[in-house]
Chains A and B, each alone.
Chain A
Amino acid sequence: MHSISEGLIKAFSLIGSFDADLLKIIFLTLEVSGVALLIATALGLPLGALVGLRKFPLQRVAISLMNTFMGLPPVVVGLFLYLILSRSGPLGFMGLLYTPLAMILAQTILALPIIASLSHSAIVNVDPIIRQASITLGATPVQVTLNIMKEARYGIMSGIIAGLGRVMAEVGAVLIVGGNIAGYTRVMTTTIALETDKGNFELAIALGIILLVLSLAINMFLHLVQRKGALQPIR
């Protein structure tokens, strides 16, 4: 109990003093997660739209795979990437292991199925009459697709925010491929794991509080997005 209260007091003082190490860890976390989210969105959104709007063989298999990969265990992704990126692996020559790029790659793999699957879900749930109305108003196939995606925007945004939540809170994969190197690949979650192991609770608690605040902000934003998208079409 004593260590918790002491840890909390020191944690708040760390946050209040804008500690340089703390800020560096926060900025690297945001950078890695932000870039991973951008890449996962750039790939996942068209993938979700393609699977949702085009008919092709094995479509059901593709949907099942997307849904299954949503629950990918991060440590398995970390292990898989480690084997590929390690010196003896097929991409070992690139020297990516224990770099922020490897962490971005891991987080992209984790966020991609979430964004693709939730975007797919949002797109297939758009009332078919929207597609027909767009066609009757003279839209080209591309304009029809864009209009459907626009209608699905709140669901798509929910998917992107869920992806952000996943990568921000992730520890297993980035620890394995990032190596938790101080000042280079150390992010909030890996620092919390390390400092807790060392019994250094103040930094762990400070980062934990910041992570919780960020998570709360993401969830509040998600809630707002979902509420805004809750209007039902005229029947």
Chain B
Amino acid sequence: MKLNVSDINKSYNGKAVLQDCSVSFEKGAVYALMGPNGSGKSTFLRICALLETPDKGSVEYLSGDSIVRNDIGLRRRITLVLPGVGVFNTTVHKNVVYGLKIRGLSKEEIRRRADSALEFAGLLHKKDHNALTLSTGEGQRLGIARAMVIEPEILFLDEPTVSTDQENTAIIEGIILDMKKKGMSTVIITTHDPAQAERLTDRVLIMRDGKIIEQKSP
């Protein structure tokens, strides 16, 4: 699935947050959105992930040449990991299987995918712990594991390593690199770290004052 963003604008209380942003995201590539605080990265990501609607412009998902209808079916093919993750007050395991259960997957499939994602995120030994007792870095890994299990075609990660220590950052980067290697998902992350963008991504978009001012290779 390809994502086309055309001329999107967004304002909050009369203040323009995004202005005429246009970009295409190709299937299977990893992108970084970079820019200073307040440049509109998170808003851009939230609009792309269909969590918010733009005031003007369009966000279109394309399967081949045809536009995919914006409904629950499309929303189940993409996902966004928010900066605060939003872990549910239940076990780590139940957090991870939430997206699978609401999709009505078989018990066997749920177990297979959950165990694999938890192992990958280094959280298998904590699967029965309450998710609220995890550290910030572990919580972030849980957020990624929770998103990975649903095998999204496009995964948005909003500042996945902004408040994590070196060890957790390395684990999270490892997960993203593995996804890149497999090429199954398009990954779009926001980051402040140019070195991280270089390590992980195929393409970098620079944002400033609500505009995409540059698109380049890392």
Q: Answer whether residue B99 sits at the interface, using C-beta atoms and an 8 A cutoff.
A: yes
CB distance from A12 to the nearest CB of B (A): 43
The 10 closest A-B pairs by CB, nearest first: A133-B86, A129-B86, A138-B76, A234-B139, A137-B99, A231-B132, A136-B80, A129-B84, A143-B102, A136-B79
Cα A132 to Cα B86 with chains together (Å): 8
Is B132's CB under 8 angstroms from A234's CB? Answer: yes
Residue in B131, B134, B139, B147 whose CB lies within 8 Å of A137: B147
Q: Answer whether residue B85 sits at the interface, using C-beta atoms and an 8 A cutoff.
A: yes
Q: Answer whether residue A195 sits at the interface, using C-beta atoms and an 8 A cutoff.
A: no
The chain B residue with its CB closest to the CB of A136 is B80
Could you tell me which residues of chain B, from 167 to 198, have a CB within 8 Å of some CB in chain A?
none
Cα A139 to Cα B79 with chains together (Å): 11
Residue in B79, B86, B135, B143 whose CB lies within 8 Å of A138: B79
Q: Answer whether residue B82 sits at the interface, using C-beta atoms and an 8 A cutoff.
A: yes
The chain A residue with its CB closest to the CB of B131 is A234
A-side contacts of B132, CB under 8 Å: 231-234
CB distance from A104 to the nearest CB of B (A): 34
Is A132's CB under 8 angstroms from B76's CB? Answer: no
The chain B residue with its CB closest to the CB of A126 is B89
Cα A74 to Cα B136 with chains together (Å): 49
Q: Answer whether residue A140 sits at the interface, using C-beta atoms and an 8 A cutoff.
A: yes
Is B75's CB under 8 angstroms from A235's CB? Answer: no
Q: Answer whether residue A127 sits at the interface, using C-beta atoms and an 8 A cutoff.
A: yes
Residue in A132, A137, A231, A233 whose CB lies within 8 Å of B98: A137
Cα A229 to Cα B88 with chains together (Å): 12
Residue in B72, B84, B103, B133 whose CB lies within 8 Å of A231: B133
Residue in A130, A133, A137, A150 whose CB lies within 8 Å of B102: A137
A-side contacts of B75, CB under 8 Å: 135, 138
Is A231's CB under 8 angstroms from B82's CB? Answer: no
Cα A127 to Cα B83 with chains together (Å): 13
Q: Answer whether residue B49 sits at the interface, using C-beta atoms and an 8 A cutoff.
A: yes
24 A-B pairs with C-beta separation under 8 A:
A129-B82, A129-B84, A129-B85, A132-B51, A132-B86, A133-B82, A135-B75, A136-B49, A136-B51, A136-B147, A138-B72, A138-B76, A138-B99, A138-B103, A151-B88, A229-B89, A232-B132, A233-B84, A234-B84, A234-B85, A234-B87, A234-B132, A234-B136, A235-B84
Is A233's CB under 8 angstroms from B87's CB? Answer: yes
